[in-house]
Amino acid sequence: MARGLRIQFSGAFYHIITRGNEKRPIFIDDSDRKKYLEIIGNYKRDFGFYLYCYTLMTNHNHLLIETPMGNISRIMLCVNTNYAVYFNRRHNRVGHLFQGRYKSIVVDKEAYLLRLLRYIHLNPVRAKMVRSPKEYKWSSHRVYISGRDTSGLIDTEPVLGRFGNTKEMQITAYRDFVESEIGSEHPGFEVKEGQFLGDDDFINNVKKNRIRDITENKEILQRFMTFDEILSGVARFYKTEESEIRYSRGHKSVLLRYITIWFARKWTNMTLKDIGECFGGMPHSGVFFGIKRVEREMCTNKEFAKNIQRLAKVLTKLKG
């Protein structure tokens, strides 16, 4: 069965859960946890998302993320790919680190922000790892009760601003709010359709926002570039012939073919089948593999990513 598309649109707010494959640990020690947070911080700067809280358990983690640019798939692809490559190298292992795709729940921020944040920060307490959330080093709870975050990783103001006017009042009220549920069983959240946390009006608005974003993006892409313009630009940028990209089986030509496929998918309204036909009937799976290959390279190879950014600027100038 085909996997459903991620729900993503400008301003979406998510509860993200990533689990280890076969319930195995995704963090062995503190160095792993530090690396994961470092990776999150790097991509937070690159992709411009907001991170309201996190808790890193042993075999899974929780994040609360807001995406002004509607790019949760790209964010999590890069974060998880980069961390998995690091983890496998450091621990001399191969194979999948994560259990399939991460879980992303689209959340009604106004209704659930505080309750979700409390739930996430109390995870180590409910797992009986600590007696109080302030004892757990690998969550953002300490950032909130200290009132400072020198790393700039956590966006605390939207949360603390709901607890009072002064910093001291905010921290005290926040701490009381979280600790008030210690020792009680969490009632759970009703996740609808497997991906929404909110009432029916919220879900309908999310679906409308997603359709609007898709429609607007397709209209922009239709006006932006054609496949032939992209192919020509890639050939000129890498100083090769278009026919080499279309037909050669050499390593460089195959990679340039994948790059062309990636831009065609992002910058036109072509389907995977349409793109495949431009390369002599390449199967759907081959086109999809090419897209994923480029995305993996962009997440793990900084020089490759810079070249893609330079190429994007060149293509834009060629069109303009």
Residue 247 CB: number of other CB atoms within 10 A? 12
pTM of the model: 0.73
Q: Looking at the 3D structure of the chain, how many domains does it have?
A: 2
Q: Are residues 63 and 105 in the same domain?
A: yes
197 and 230 together in one domain: no
Do residue 48 and residue 17 come from a single domain? yes
Provide φ and ψ at 316, rounded to 5°: -60, -40
The answer to whether residue 206 sits within a structural domain is yes
The burial of 211, by beta-carbon neighbours within 10 Å (0-12 exposed, 13-18 middle, 19 or more buried), is given as exposed
- Flag whether 186 is in a domain: yes
pLDDT at 320: 54
Alpha carbons 164 and 184: distance in angstroms, whole number: 25
Q: How confident is the model at residue 315, as a pLDDT?
A: 82
- 56 and 182 fall within a common domain: yes
CA 280 to chain centre: 33
Banded pLDDT at 2 (limits 50, 70, 90)? very low
Q: Is residue 181 part of a domain?
A: yes
193 & 45 share domain: yes
**247 with 205, same domain?**
no
Strand partners, 213: none
4 falls within a domain: no
β-pairing verdict for 60-67 and 103-107: unpaired
The per-residue pLDDT for range 174-211, each reduced to its tens digit, is: 999 999 999 888 888 999 998 999 999 999 888 877 66
Where does a domain end: 147, 179, 212?
212
Same domain, 67 and 207: yes
Same domain, 188 and 246: no
- Is 112 within the bounds of a domain? yes
**Greater confidence, 27 or 253?**
27
Domain match, 104 and 183 both? yes
The neighbouring-strand residues paired with 18 are 61
**Does 175 lie in the same domain as 54?**
yes
Tokens encoding 116 = 């979700």
CATH number at residue 299: 1.10.1750.10
* Residue 234 to residue 73: CA distance in whole angstroms: 25
Position 177 in a domain: yes
- Quickly list DSSP for the chain: -PPPPP---TTEEEEEEEEBGGG--S--SHHHHHHHHHHHHHHHHHH--EEEEEEE-SSEEEEEEEETTS-HHHHHHHHHHHHHHHHHHHTT--S--BSSSPEEEEE-HHHHHHHHHHHHHTHHHHTTS-SSGGG-SSBSHHHHHHT--TT-----HHHHGGG-SSHHHHHHHHHHHHHTTTTS-------BTTTEES-HHHHHHHHHHHHHHHHHHHHHHHHH--HHHHHHHHHHHTT--HHHHHH--SHHHHHHHHHHHHHHHHHS---HHHHHHTTTS--HHHHHHHHHHHHHHHHH-HHHHHHHHHHHHHHHHHH-
Has residue 262 been placed in a domain? yes
Question: What pLDDT does 316 receive?
Answer: 73
Q: Residue 46 has what pLDDT?
A: 80
- CATH number, residue 40: 3.30.70.1290
**In this model, does residue 49 exceed pLDDT 90?**
yes
- Decide if 261 contacts 299 (C-beta within 8 A): no
Say yes or no: 197 and 232 in one domain.
no
Pair 196, 245 in one domain: no
Tens-digit pLDDT profile for residues 81-137: 889 989 999 999 988 899 988 999 999 999 999 999 999 999 999 999 999 999 999
Among 188, 212, 236, where does a domain finish? Answer: 212
Surface-to-core class of residue 1, CB atoms within 10 Å of its CB (0-12 exposed, 13-18 middle, 19+ buried): exposed
Instruction: Classify residue 164: in a domain, yes or no.
Output: yes
| 203 in Cβ contact with 192 (< 8 Å) | yes
* Structural domain range at position 236: 225-319
pLDDT at 212 > cutoff 80: no
Q: Any residues with CB less than 8 A from the CB of 73 and at least 6 apart, and which?
A: 6, 8
Q: Which of 180, 212, 244 is the last residue of a domain?
A: 212
